[in-house]
Structure 1
Amino acid sequence: MRFIKYAAAATLLATAPLAAAQQLSIATGGTGGTYYPYGGGLAELIGNHIEGAEAVAEVTGASVENMGLVWRGDSDLALALADTVYQAHNGTGDFEGRQLDNIRALASIYPNAVQIVTLADSGIESLSDLKGKTVSVGAPGSGTELNARALLEANGITYDDFDPRRLNFNETADAIRDGDIDAGFWSVGPPTSSIMNLATTRDIRLVGLTQEQVAKAKEAEPVFAAYKLKADLYEGMDEAVQSIGIPNVLAVSSEMDEELAYQITKVLFEQTDELIAIHPAANDTTVEFSVESTPVPFHPGALRYYEEVGAEVQDHQRP
């Protein structure tokens, strides 16, 4: 496995120390997305504020792969899209017939936005314009592909209607820039580095969704929510663009030590400024967002923290 350089020496946090030093693995995603820097920031928080613990952020294929890593015990924590976590926990969708019933949540940490990117002069201005084109739907085993497929199929478009390519974020940006594909999907916390870099070398367009398309997507996937990409998010993006968003969940196994789960949840919400300094997506890392958005039960250690701060936990979020 490859690891980003976010391991950090442990220092004291004003909570009970762990019984022995632990090396924790955080499954993230590719280097061109938000999971990578966010997971690295979380690794720093753990190393800096939880006595006896260190962490490293692991480069992976993102959401779907990450659920398997946690389920098998190959990773201790994982970032994944809420719909992927829900399907894994309940044995539905891509996890039909293989329920990963040990999946628990520490928190929902920020919303992803589905971002459909093309070159400004491509002629692609709507979802239906993707028909007959060559389109990246995200890396194999990624939440991006799950979201792309769900959005398209909810609006009557299948992979038979275009030439699908399964590329990661950086590969998608490079292929759009080089003219090898016509458009690509990202499901990631905005802004993301791969689109930012593309926008510095080519004039790009973000393809917006209609209210009807958003409504159909929400009907197909209840975890979807309307989300507006702000103007000036990327170079040359003069107007806001309507899209959909999906919460991201920090998931662990039910077998994680309760005290460790409590300490990680506590440091996540009480040292958030350190995460914001690494990536602006952490501005949405709040207790309120977490209890509003998490679709699966919380780990008992996380639940202890939410109850301690007086959060209103929903019935389905209790183990």
Structure 2
Amino acid sequence: MKPIKYSLFALTIAAAFSGSALAQDKSDWPSSITIGTGSQGGTYFGYGSGFGAMISEDLGLNAGVEITGGPVQNVTLVETGEHQLGFVTLGPADEARKGESPLMPGVPHEKVRALFPMYQTPLQAAVLASSDIESFQDMEGKRVGVGPAGGTSATYWTRFFENAEGYGNVDISNAGGSDTAGQLKDGLIDAFVYAAGLPTGAYAQLAVENDVRFISMDEETLEKMMAIVPAMAPFTIPANTYEDQPEDLQTVSLWNFAITNTDMPESLAYEITKLAMTNHDRMVTNHAAAKETLPENVLKNQVIPFHPGAVKWFEENGYEIPADLK
């Protein structure tokens, strides 16, 4: 028997078939997508800029990053289809799903679907070292920057100060992360409280340029925060995450997930999920917080149904998605 020989013609036909199949698979893809992130100086913006570049390079789409007010705005922009991809913390996303979004009150966000886990967002706080503020109780009567209106930070810090007995009478200031850090440096506010993945650029720069004191939550503050926002969980910010931070900081956190709309083609949702879940080193290069962008964290989300494309990737790779999240 003569050995089988593969002709150049046959290989060319096979390659052409493969290419046409791939093109057909992408036939219902949009030519571009918009990713809703957050303010400059926050983790969403850096994480999203890097991931958008990966999408453009690997998937052949023009992925643009848009600065937004954060999760509260992002979930609504994805629900309405204005953005095709967005980053959210699970607290605001769950509230929007129930029709409790402050941007669209009474309108359940039923078209939002989860794609993949990102990282945890811890609540953080800093003052200048010259300040007399040494605890959250000391912030009463002070002017406190909480980040951009509509973001995770502003939503939950404001809710905390308005509802925690003994912590009220705080003068709230809203601005982006980098702007708020600048206001603290210039003495326009007394404290800068925020919510973003580690390390947060605005805090890192602030600590390099100024003598800063980071505030840790005592047990009373932890308990009050988790009572007011049950979706929060205890979290430790490791020592030396920032300059001028020699000890661990106790706080609380929320998980972040990437979301899309039910209208995203299943094959595109699959490829975006695959891109994030199989390129860990590249994701960490985008932002250090992506060290938690791992498939084993998929079920940290128990509130947003997953897109069928994401379900397909996770289940192909051994991660069972509960029926109520499909």
TM-score (norm 1): 0.89
Superposed CA offset, 1:216-249 (max 9, x none): 3223323211111111111111111101111112
Q: Structure 2 matches for 1:160-175, cutoff 5 A?
A: 161-175=169-183
Q: Is the 8 A contact 2:149 2:155 kept in 1?
A: no
* Conserved? CA contact 2:39–2:148, under 8 Å: no
Find the aligned partners of 1:315 and 1:98 in 2 and give their Cα distance.
24
Provide the rounded CA distance (Å) in 2 between the counterparts of 1:250 and 1:176: 31
Distance (Å, rounded) in 1 between the aligned partners of 2:127 and 2:163:
21
In structure 1, the residue matched to 2:16 is none
Mapped contact 1:118–1:204 kept (Cα < 8 A):
yes
**2:119–2:293: 8 Å Cα contact kept in structure 1?**
yes
Q: How much has 1:185 moved relative to structure 2? A: 1.4
Does structure 2 retain, via aligned residues, the 8 Å contact 1:288–1:311?
Answer: yes
Name 1:144's counterpart in structure 2.
Answer: 153
The structure 2 residue matched to 1:216, chosen from 214, 219, 224, is: 224
The answer to whether the aligner puts 1:57 opposite 2:87 as a matched pair is no
Match among 308, 313, 316 for residue 321 of structure 2: 313
Give 2:111's match in structure 1, choosing from 82, 102, 114: 102
Equivalent positions of 1:1-319 (< 5 A) are 17-19=25-27, 22-50=31-59, 52-92=60-100, 94=102, 95-153=104-162, 155-156=164-165, 161-318=169-326
2:286 alignment partner, SS class: coil
Distance 1:122 1:314 in 2: 49
> What is the SS of the residue equivalent to 1:218?
helix
Distance 1:294 1:157, change over 3 A: farther
User: Deviation of residue 167 (structure 1)?
Assistant: 1.5
| Partner Cα distance (2:166, 2:81) in 1 | 37
Q: Percent identity between the aligned chains?
A: 31
Deviation at 1:37, TM superposition (A): 1.2
Report the secondary structure of 1:184's partner residue: strand
Deviations along 1:77-126, whole A, 9 cap, x unmatched? 00111111111111125354121111111022100110111112211111
Spell out structure 1 runs of 4+ moving beyond 4 A.
14-17
Long gaps (5+) in structure 2:
1-18
Contact 1:298 1:317 survives alignment (8 Å): yes
Following superposition, the deviation at residue 253 of structure 1 comes to 0.7
TM-score by length of 2: 0.87
- Shift in Å at residue 294 of structure 1? 4.7
Distance 1:314 1:127 in 2: 39
C-alpha RMSD of matched pairs (Å): 2.0
Q: Assess, with a 3 A threshold, how the Cα gap between structure 1 residues 193 and 71 changes in structure 2: closer, same or farther.
A: same
Partners of 2:30 and 2:109 lie apart in 1 by: 28
Deviates more, 1:148-157 or 1:113-122: 148-157
Q: CA deviation at 1:198?
A: 0.9
Aligned length: 304
Instruction: Provide the C-alpha distance between the structure 1 equivalents of 2:198 and 2:160, rounded to a whole number of angstroms.
Output: 18
Contact conserved, 1:61 with 1:142, CA < 8 A, in 2? yes
Are residues 108 and 156 of structure 1, via their aligned partners in 2, closer, same or farther at CA, if it must alter by over 3 Å?
farther
**The structure with more radius of gyration:** 2
CA, structure 1 residues 294+106, in 2 after alignment: closer, same or farther (shift >3 Å)?
Answer: farther
Three-state SS of the structure 2 residue aligned to 1:161 is coil
